[in-house]
Structure 1
C-alpha cells in the first residue's frame, strides 16, 4: 500500500518528538486498513537504526586494575552496537510471557480467596436457627444454631465420604452397598469415622464431644495420647487435656443430647455461668453476671425457647432475677 505519512514523521513519533498534530494524523492513519503492517515494519527499522551503549566488562576490569597499579594509559571507549533485527519480536515475546505469568498469579490469588467456595458446598445456620441437610448418599445432617458443614463438591461418595463440621450437628449416616466409611472432621483435627449410624457431634471453642445413639464409631485425634477410641451406643466421648474421656450415659441423659432439634434446652444443676456460655453459642449474645451472688445459682429443667427473649423470660421466672438487655449484651442482676 502507498503510505499517506512519511517515514520521517513516524521516526519522529517513535523518538517522542512528534507534535500534537502529527500524533493525531498518525492515529487516524493507523485506523486505515493495512497501515499496521507498515507501522511495525518501520518501527523495527527505526529500532535497528538506534545505537545502544554496551559496556565491555573485560576491558573495564583490566583498565581498573591498571588504574589501581598506576599504569593506566588510556580511557575505555564506549562500544556502539546496533540493535539486532529481532529485538521488537523479542519484546513482543517477553511481553506475552509476563502477561501470561501475571494472569496465572491473579488466577491463583482468586482461587485461594474463593477456595472453600469452589471446593466445598457450605451449609450454615445463623444464631437461633436449625437446618436439615440431605447429603448425596441420603445421609441426614441436622445443624444446630451457629454451625457450619462443608461437603466436597467433587468426589464425595466415590472412594470415601468426608465432611467438615464446626458447631453442633446430629448425623444419621446411611450405609452403602460397598460399606464406604463416613468421616466427620472437626476444627481440632479430630476424626469421627463410621459406616452407618446415628450420633451427635459438638465441636466449639470449649472442645469436642461425640454422643453415639446407634451403631459404632471410631474417634481419633492427633492431640491425644490414645491412638483411637471406639464408641458403643450410649457412650459420650470428650476430648480435653490431651485425653479422650469416655462415659456411659443414662437413657435420660442420652435423650437430652439432641433436644436442641426441638428448640429445647435441658439443664441438670447447671451453673449459671455455663448457662450463659450455652446462650452465647446458640444466640450469639454476651451474658454478664452483674451480681457475684448469682454465680452460684444453678438451673435444672427442660425449657423450650425458639428465641432469646423467650428463654430470658423463663430464666427470670425460674431464678427470680432481673434481666437487662442492650444490643448483644445481657446483664443479670439480683432482684
Structure 2
C-alpha cells in the first residue's frame, strides 16, 4: 500500500494554525535587530547647552545688578554703614548713597553730601563709585569723596584709585586729591588726607575753602537756613578748624574774618550780606 500524505483539517483557519506554532517560527526565522539611530533630542540638548553658555556670557559681560540699597543720614548726624563684603561707608551728615551689587562689581553712587570709603579688597570685583559725572575705580583702599553743587573732590588716604572725569582719567595715591568741576578733571594735588577726613571725628577743616562750599557744609549740620544775598561773596576763602557740634560759634566768627554781615529774621533764617563800606 502506498503511504498517504497527512490531511489538514480544512475547518481550522490558517491564523489559528500559525498561532499554534508562533514560538517555533520565531526561533527558525528570527527578526533582524533594530538599527540604532541617533535620538533627535541629542541635538536639542546640545542647542540648549550652547544657549545657556551664551546667556551666562551675556550676563557676565553686561554685569547686571541683582540687589540695591539706599542709605541716608540725618542733618547733623553722620552715619557708619557696614556692607556685606566688609567695606565701610562713613556718611557725612545729610548725605545719601545708593549701593548696588553686580555679578562682576560693587557700585556706590554718592547722590549728595560726602562719604569716606574703606573698601575691602576683591581683585575680580572692583568697587566703583560715581558722583555725578565723576567715576572712581578701586580694588581695596580708603578714600574720601565730597560732592558739592557742580564739583566733586576725591582724596586718597590709603591705597590707589583711578578717577575719571569726561574723557580724562588720573591715578591718585595716598595724600593726593583731585577736583572734578562740571565733569572736567582738574590737576592732581598733594594734601593732608587726614585733615580732609577730620569730619569723621567731629572736626571741620577748611583750607582757603570758598565761602559757598563752607555754607553748604554747615547746612549739613543744622536746619537753620542760610541765605547768601551777594553772589560775589561765594569765592571768599575761609580757613580754620571748627567743631561740627558748635557751628554757631563759627557763624558768629564769619563777620570777623570776612567782609560780611550776618543777621536773622523772624523765622530764624540767617542772611549773609556784604558789609557796607564805612563812610
State if a TM-score over 0.5 links the two structures.
yes
* Higher helix proportion: 1
Corresponding residue to 2:146 among 202, 216, 228: 202
TM-score, scaled to structure 1: 0.53
Corresponding residue to 1:225 among 167, 176, 180: 167
For 1:311 and 1:196, how far apart are their aligned partners in 2? 36
How is 1:322-333 mapped onto 2 (pairs within 5 angstroms)?
323-326=262-265, 327=267, 329-332=269-272
Select the structure of larger CA radius of gyration: 2
Equivalent residue number for residue 256 of structure 1: 195
Residue 279 of structure 1 aligns to a residue whose secondary structure is helix
For 1:272 and 1:189, how far apart are their aligned partners in 2? 24
Equivalent residue number for residue 42 of structure 1: none
Residue 104 of structure 2 aligns to a residue whose secondary structure is coil
Corresponding residue to 2:114 among 154, 168, 181: 168
For 1:295 and 1:163, how far apart are their aligned partners in 2? 30
Q: Is 1:211 matched up with 2:211?
A: no
For 1:212 and 1:293, how far apart are their aligned partners in 2? 32
Equivalent residue number for residue 244 of structure 2: 305
Residue 271 of structure 2 aligns to a residue whose secondary structure is strand
For 1:321 and 1:239, how far apart are their aligned partners in 2? 29
For 2:136 and 2:181, how far apart are their aligned partners in 1? 16
Q: Deviations over 1:152-200 (max 9, x none)?
A: 3xxx375321122122100000113x542111122x2432111000001
Residue 261 of structure 1 aligns to a residue whose secondary structure is helix
- Measure how far apart 1:303 and its partner are: 1.1
Residue 122 of structure 1 aligns to a residue whose secondary structure is strand
Q: Is the 8 A contact 2:108 2:130 kept in 1?
A: yes
- Measure how far apart 1:202 and its partner are: 1.3
Greater RCO, CA 8 A, separation 6+: 2
Residue 251 of structure 2 aligns to a residue whose secondary structure is helix
Q: Is the 8 A contact 1:137 1:157 kept in 2?
A: no
* Cα 1:248–1:267 shift into 2, 3 Å: same
Q: Is the 8 A contact 1:237 1:247 kept in 2?
A: yes
For 1:310 and 1:231, how far apart are their aligned partners in 2? 36
Q: Is the 8 A contact 2:107 2:127 kept in 1?
A: yes
Corresponding residue to 2:82 among 110, 114, 134: 134
TM-score, scaled to structure 2: 0.62
Query: Which range is displaced more, 272-281 or 319-328?
Result: 319-328
For 1:143 and 1:309, how far apart are their aligned partners in 2? 22
Mind listing any 5+ residue stretches in structure 1 that lack a counterpart? 1-117
Mind listing any 5+ residue stretches in structure 2 that lack a counterpart? 1-65
* Cα 1:271–1:220 shift into 2, 3 Å: closer
- Measure how far apart 1:243 and its partner are: 2.5
Residue 200 of structure 1 aligns to a residue whose secondary structure is strand
For 2:70 and 2:82, how far apart are their aligned partners in 1? 13
Equivalent residue number for residue 146 of structure 1: 94
Corresponding residue to 1:192 among 128, 133, 136: 136
Pairs aligned (count): 208
* Higher strand proportion: 2
